[in-house]
Structure 1
Amino acid sequence: MPAFPFRLEVKAGEIARKTVIFDKPGEYQFSCDLPGHHEAGMKGTLIVRAF
């Protein structure tokens, strides 16, 4: 996620977790940065809502 200074690297079949505290609601884009993966659909939107 370009808006935040971290990166997760995961091998096939593995699970990675990262805890992040957001200070405001919003929509944040994320994607795989390996060549061709973003274009192949490995991307999404993380939606953060206040509660």
Structure 2
Amino acid sequence: MLVPLSVAGWGWREGAAAVLFPPTGATPSVGIAMGIAYGAIMTIAALPARSS
């Protein structure tokens, strides 16, 4: 708990994707890109909606 290993969850997801994607035939960079894309989409989805 005292040693920060990630920032707001960023880092673990990308690391896991880099390790788990190569057995499926993809490169680690594709796994990292997918992890970043997923994180960005979830961040945008969590933003409050603008009311008119």
TM > 0.5: no
Higher helix share: 2
- Larger Rg over CA atoms: 2
Higher strand share: 1
